[in-house]
């Protein structure tokens, strides 16, 4: 898998987060996050449990409103857009756990992906089954009864077929066998090669940094460090041990 090398300084950002603060009730969990993700890059957001990574993704995808700061996708501030509008304007967010509807069949899940607009069920099915032949044999099965790997394939098929500009992936590797993880990350690489910007959140550093072109470490609701994947690999050890 090849990922085009890009210099963060010259490429315009696909996603910019400026001074974002967010809280659950009275408890603030993001204390002013600044992050710039260059277009076409695979950016890994690392950090220990409870650092606020998933909360940041919720803010970006419009599920939570920040108390301060702004989120800019492309050149448009998107703070006021609802989750579904963001999805229709090219943001694909695959949440932690499995981003599927467990009580719908595989085919019915794929039918939901067509809400993104301009897609036919047939095309969605063809593309998904072409990439993941295993799902073709399970098209009539309830998604909740698939194996963990198959569920994640179904979830990521949404990113595959809806052609998003920005893709948010939360803990893609969680609870999966290494072989499946490798297969999924290969797909992430392919998506990036097609020019999509990927922001992935991972607790497990090595898997994420294998495909990443840039990375940042988040601790206690703030970005602690940002740099190249190799720099972050070294820095991450210190952070994980100290926090």
Burial class from Cβ neighbours inside 10 Å (0-12, 13-18, 19+) for residue 140 reads: exposed
Which of 46, 87 has the CB closer to other proteins?
A: 87
Could you write out the DSSP letters of every residue in 107-145? HHHHHHHGGGSS--HHHHHHHHHHH-HHHHTTTTSBGGG
Which of 3, 171 has the CB closer to other proteins?
A: 171
Residue 152 CB: number of other CB atoms within 10 A? 27
Q: Under the criterion CB under 8 A, does residue 185 sit at the interface with other proteins?
A: no
Q: Under the criterion CB under 8 A, does residue 237 sit at the interface with other proteins?
A: no
Tokens matching residue 177: 């066998």
- Calpha distance 211→77 (Å, rounded): 28
Of residues 117 through 136, those in contact with other proteins by CB under 8 A are: 117, 121
Q: How far is the CB of 164 from other proteins (least distance, A)?
A: 10
Q: How far is the CB of 25 from other proteins (least distance, A)?
A: 6
Of residues 2 through 61, those in contact with other proteins by CB under 8 A are: 21-25, 27, 29-30, 54-55, 58-59, 61
Q: How far is the CB of 157 from other proteins (least distance, A)?
A: 12
CA distances from 155 to 17, 54, 133, 144 (A): 25, 17, 15, 12
Question: Interface with other proteins by CB under 8 A: which residues?
Answer: 21-25, 27, 29-30, 54-55, 58-59, 61-67, 82-84, 87-88, 92-96, 99-104, 108, 111-117, 121, 158, 162
């Amino acid at each position: 898998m090849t990922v085009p090398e890009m210099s963060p300084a010259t490429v315009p950002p696909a996603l910019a987060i400026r001074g974002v603060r967010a809280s659950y009730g009275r408890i603030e969990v993001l204390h002013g996050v600044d992050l710039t993700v260059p277009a076409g890059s695979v950016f890994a957001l690392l950090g220990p449990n409870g650092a606020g990574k998933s909360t940041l993704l919720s803010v970006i995808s419009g599920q939570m409103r920040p108390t301060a700061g702004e989120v800019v996708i492309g050149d448009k501030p998107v703070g006021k857009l609802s989750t579904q509008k963001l999805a229709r304007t090219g943001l694909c967010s695959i949440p932690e756990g499995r981003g599927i509807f467990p009580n719908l069949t595989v085919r019915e899940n794929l039918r939901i992906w067509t809400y993104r607009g301009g897609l036919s069920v047939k095309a969605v099915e063809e593309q998904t089954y072409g990439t993941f032949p295993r799902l073709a044999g399970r098209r009539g099965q309830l998604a909740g009864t698939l194996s963990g790997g198959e569920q994640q394939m179904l979830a990521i098929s949404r990113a595959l077929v809806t052609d998003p500009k920005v893709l948010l992936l939360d803990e893609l590797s969680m609870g999966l066998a290494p072989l499946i993880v490798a297969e999924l990350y290969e797909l992430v690489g392919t998506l990036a090669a097609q020019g999509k910007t990927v922001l992935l959140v991972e607790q497990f550093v090595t898997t994420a940094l294998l495909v990443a072109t840039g990375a940042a470490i988040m601790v206690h609701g703030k970005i602690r460090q940002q740099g190249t994947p190799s720099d972050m690999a070294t820095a991450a050890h210190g952070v994980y041990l100290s926090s």
